[in-house]
Structure 1
Amino acid sequence: MSKFRQIARDWAWVREGVWWRKNEKVIRKSVEMIDKSPEVT
């Protein structure tokens, strides 16, 4: 049972990584916009 739990957790990490890679450009762009905005000190 613990082995199944380990696999499930690893799969969650894999899916998270896939999501991050898909949205990396969007995230970077929004981070750059936040960095460039004058209100942020």
Structure 2
Amino acid sequence: MKIFHIVEFARIALVGSMAQSLDTSLEGSLSGVADIQAMAHPL
């Protein structure tokens, strides 16, 4: 039973870190798109 808890905790931690890295990469690509749009359409 203890092994199951360890596996479950590891899975939750892995999913959490994956979601966090996905959020940061999504933010980075969004800011990259904004930079490209700013260069393409100078004010």
**TM-score higher than 0.5:** yes
More helix by share: 2
**Gapped regions of structure 1 (runs ≥ 5):** 30-41
TM-score with structure 1 length normalisation? 0.59
The total of aligned residue pairs comes to 28
**Gapped regions of structure 2 (runs ≥ 5):** 34-43
TM-score with structure 2 length normalisation? 0.57
CA shift, 1:4, in A, is 0.4
> Segments of 4+ in structure 1 off by > 2 A?
none
Measured on the aligned residues, the alpha-carbon RMSD in Å equals 1.5
